Structure 1
Amino acid sequence: MDVHPDHPDLEALAAEGKVIAYFGYGSLVNRHTLRTKFLGIRRAEARGWQRFWQPRDPTAEMALLSVQPNNAESVHGVVVYDLVDHLPSLDEREAGYNRRIIDPAALTIENPPLTDLPVFIYEATPGASNAVELGSAILQSYLDAVMQGFHDLYGDDGLKRFIERTQGFETRLLQDRSAPRYARSVPLLAGEAELFDSLVSARGVEAIELNPNE
């Protein structure tokens, strides 16, 4: 099953050095959160990385997903092929993270359209505390976007794998679905809210209501 049709000029643009590739493991998995006109997207797995919940900075109250090296783990997600001109906006979106290059030997891409193209990954700042330690909350609107992306690309099993293999779910969930705080929130399809809520509840996440006065 194709994820999304490739841009017809993808290979030609790559030959001219105008294409970058990056690995998405959180909201980037949901193509509806992408704000650039990307050229292609593929399911992928990066070995040697662990996904976890972490605040953007030491004072942040809200947690977002990040990764850290862990040779015993692997992360499923997507590789996005985009124009090199869009790299500054991607770096801005991933502010507070370090852009790395994934070891090609540790990366599996489904039906890769290009070869010998470095693939970036955005890594948490070394030594950063996780969301549980700092008492941060997960935005429901952000988590909805992530879970929709995994469900769309990997089905029920892939969605459950995301929940089970991501560290730091033992924290709070801020229920902002009706008034999203996440800038790239997405509308949910029929049945998705119930499915997502049941999986999150089973993971032991404490749901807290949004205070409209905050």
Structure 2
Amino acid sequence: MTQRPPIHPDAPELAELAAEGRVVAYFGYGSLVNPRTLRTRFLAIRRAAAFGWQRVWLPRSRDADMALLSVQPAEGQTIQGVVVYDLIDNLPSVDQREASYERRTIPPERIVIEDAPLADVTVNIYEAEPDAEQADEAGCAILQSYLDAVMQGFRDLYGEEGLRAFVEHTQGFETRLLADRKVPRYPRSVTLRDGEAELFDRLVFARGAMAFDPS
């Protein structure tokens, strides 16, 4: 994995906390890729790649008909993202943020972490729980304010090449796009920089997304 500038300075007490068993790690492949959405005082963050998963927009009936960005097992596939090192005390808050997901463990041989600051720390990944009800795919929508946060994160960490790879290798972009950019419904929405809205829209519309105004 190519060395790039650090995403964020490591907490000076990281090694000491790890030795005390107080550090947890989780792999982010969606909004967690954008540090601006993180609400815990994390200890370190690294670019990473996980093997054997495919990103997918999952229609959900239980989430107000909003499609969730999730992963599903897919041999031969690789997804880019980040590994966040956090205090184990913060894990309940992360689980609450990912309330519609199940936390699972990534086998060590299925993840590569750029300049990993710690060895032998278990890394978790969040997969959406199965929907007991049949979701109406035609009625579900991707929240644009959420998607903006995800795409900005990939652009910042992996450049435009990584951003395009995220769009091209994520299944389900044919889902409707709820255009809430002006009045964001996503609670951790981000401010876009000049040109980002146009770039993001061009990429997702090329994949078949169709925006609609919620007003």
The normalised TM-score by structure 1 is 0.93
Pair 1:80-2:80 in alignment: no
Q: Does the aligned pair in 2 maintain the 1:67–1:124 contact within 8 Å?
A: yes
Q: Which residue of 2 aligns with 1:159?
A: 163
Q: Which residue of 2 aligns with 1:125?
A: 129
Q: Go from structure 1 to structure 2 and tell me whether the alpha carbon gap of 1:168 and 1:119 turns closer, same or farther (over 3 Å shift).
A: same
1-structure distance, mates of 2:136, 2:11: 41
Q: Go from structure 1 to structure 2 and tell me whether the alpha carbon gap of 1:59 and 1:10 turns closer, same or farther (over 3 Å shift).
A: closer
2-structure distance, mates of 1:52, 1:159: 15
How many percent identity over aligned positions?
64
The aligned length equals 211
Unaligned runs of 5+ in 2: none
2-structure distance, mates of 1:97, 1:22: 13
Letter in 2 for 1:159: L
Q: Which residue of 2 aligns with 1:168?
A: 172
Q: Which residue of 2 aligns with 1:102?
A: 106
Aligned pair partner of 1:13 in 17, 23, 28: 17
2-structure distance, mates of 1:25, 1:130: 25
* Alpha-carbon shift at residue 135 of structure 1 (Å): 3.1
* Alpha-carbon shift at residue 57 of structure 1 (Å): 4.8
Q: Does the aligned pair in 1 maintain the 2:138–2:175 contact within 8 Å?
A: no
Write the deviation string for residues 148-179 of structure 1: whole angstroms up to 9, x where unpaired: 00000000000000000101101110110000
CA-based RMSD: 1.7
**Runs of 4+ displaced beyond 2 Å:** 55-60, 126-135
Pair 1:33-2:1 in alignment: no
* Alpha-carbon shift at residue 77 of structure 1 (Å): 0.3
Q: Does the aligned pair in 2 maintain the 1:6–1:41 contact within 8 Å?
A: yes
SS across alignment from 1:133: coil
Q: Go from structure 1 to structure 2 and tell me whether the alpha carbon gap of 1:132 and 1:149 turns closer, same or farther (over 3 Å shift).
A: farther
Larger deviation, residues 198-207 vs 17-26: 198-207
Aligned pair partner of 2:64 in 52, 60, 63: 60
1-structure distance, mates of 2:134, 2:154: 22
Q: Which residue of 2 aligns with 1:93?
A: 97
